[in-house]
Structure 1
Amino acid sequence: MPAAQIDSLLTIWAASLLQHGGEPLFASHQDLYKTIDSTPLGDVKWESFSVKYTGEQPAAGPPWMNDNYEVWFRDPCQLVHSILGNPEFANETDFRAYREFETATDKRQFHDFMSADWAWEQSDLIAEDVGTHGSTFVPIILGSDKTMVSVATGQNDFYPLYLSVGNVRNNVRRAHRNALVLVGFLAMPKTTQEHASNVEFRLFKRQLFHTSLLGILESLKPGMTTPEVVRFGDGHYRRVIYGLGPYIADYKEQVLLSCIVRNWCPKCLSRRDNLDADSLARCQEHTEELIKDFEFEDLWDQYGIVKQLVSDTGSEWCSTQPFTNDFPRADIYKLLSPDLLHQIIKGAFKDHLVDWVERYLNKVHGTSRAKIIFDDIDRRYVFRQSSQLCKWPDQCQPLL
């Protein structure tokens, strides 16, 4: 919009506010431009790096061994600074871990991220180090979910990686007010069906995933041991220490992140057929010792840890290490957090409960009658949803 039109619009706005004794947000187009130019927030530029298979290759190796896999990302350190420095979050940011109790019953209450035990324990570790004592702990929350976009783009697969910080309160993060940002796109290697089940290819996919996360998060690593001075949204500067926080993922990605065998628990050593049994919780130190001392069969069968043969001679074994092993105070088994959408809403409700009800109706009433019941359920559900959105529910009609 031209500057003259901006001034005309502001004049009309000011005239409409006279009767209320108010003033527009900007006095003129110069005032508007000055406000925009002084805003410290802005987009962080995109960067990329390439990853390639560097192992031994046979004479006629599969195509995936020669491909370059490009990973696009934005500097996570700059993104964290942008979130912490956002003035909209100045009054909705927690600068320290805390424990909250109800006055009447003295019962512990959990509300925002920094009120939980994990943030408190991490703050204790930071306080024990003389070099980091007194620093503001900034937990880095990560999440990823492989997805397919088919509308207007064809059948394209994307592997987005998201980032947030635990200091910003839950209501802000859930409202998508720039407290949750896209930090990168992970590479997804593909090959022909002939080589898809190849052990080397499966191992490479896992290593590519963890290598990509290492490369993306590299700029945060120095700030995990040496405090950085960061400007916050309230205008004050604070010394901060970063730490890898929860990684939100569905079960398939939890298996990939923790480098365990599918159908095993990524949090403990319980077997799927006896989840109530007393068992050890997984931890980084325990897993590393098991990999050193046990053979492939024992690791796979007794502990659910992936250790794969990568040599035709049967003498060379490889075990992918979680990317968190390269970061201080980070244990992937303690950081994994369930994906509410896919594991609870979609997994428990849609994939389990709805599927069970459909099979039950088909078995009891037969296919034809079951379809009529399904239609009735759909109409009742849509009608209820529309009634909740309408100002006059009694005038709502079912949407057919």
Structure 2
Amino acid sequence: MTIQKGESNGGDTPLLTPGQPGETSSLGLFWPPKETDYYRAKGFFKKAILSPTHFDRFMWKWNSLVESDRFTTNGREETNDEKDKKNYSRVTLRAVVANEFLQIHSGELQEMVEAIIPLEGGVGNVFACTSLVYFGKNHPNRKSDDNTNKSCIENVRNALSEEERTPEQMIATAKNNGYTLRHIDKNKVYTNTNKEVQQLFALYQPFGWSQAQVVELLNSPNRLIAVAKKDGVIVSAGIAEMATESIRFDRNQSCALDMVELTDAATLVVHERKGLYSAVSTILLQKLAKKYHNSPNELIIFGESNASAKGVLRTSKHQGRTFAAQIGRDFGYGESGMLNQHVPILDRGEKIETARDRYNNFYPTFINKSKLLSKYGNN
């Protein structure tokens, strides 16, 4: 089998962290930052950056990470007196930032900003004129070569030339190939004896998930799971991880941001190239449209798509997602939109251990609430 966010070799967020659906959130909404999988220091700043004063607080933590002697080449060697400290070769932080601030300071932030996802806001909404920003920095030894970068850019250009499709078109291939599409029932309590547990375990086991962790995944209230079945057996699955984060705008005002990441898609090898990722991720979007229809909160739905997976990138465009790579130039960040050497994606048959020292690039793609409801809310 292959694990992916699309129809070949990779997907919206890799399932490569060995078996940690409950322990390690793909969303990573924690602060202060901490060392996570694949030699990354990762975090989400909980205060909106609206002014230089706000930014100074963020930069204090940023500088402490990128100037640390722990920011080095890959490796987790421990000294006797620093057993709890790990090395990292990539710093990746996110924050909500005022668009005006981004534009005014584009010169000095050029090397830090990796991707910009504008938030929709609305009349009187504090998130209006702000963006969710990826800040990133890699050690010099963790960089893509020029040929890889050129290939990734060409892949996204080709994807952007595709036309959007309707939800019906997105699921037609899978249905015509005899697959049934379903959402996992979240009103059930799952145990090891449930067939859903056993079938999803067979799907995800090659990537380190234990049966107990699959049970935890199924029982998590923060994850929606869509599946494709053939002859009553789950052969493909996709996951939407949901969270609500409180963002502080000033001392007296904090506002809720609903975030959803499309992640951890898997398809059995013999069922690849049958339109299953397109279908499974589409019915997830339909479910999310129903779930968030009446929510008063700001909402952003996104995925981090493997830049080498052409089918994944095309699916993102077909679904009406916007690429962050389309946005940066509007703010003065013409080369932004790609997460450089973010995490590894396994090739078929490759062991997790052998992928520790090589990584893939990713393109964040997103859809805001108004587009979600207009495109997916009537199904």
Task: Provide the TM-score with structure 1 as the length reference.
Answer: 0.26
Higher relative contact order (CA 8 A, sep 6+): 2
Larger radius of gyration, structure 1 or 2?
A: 1
Q: Considering fraction of residues, name the structure with more helix.
A: 1
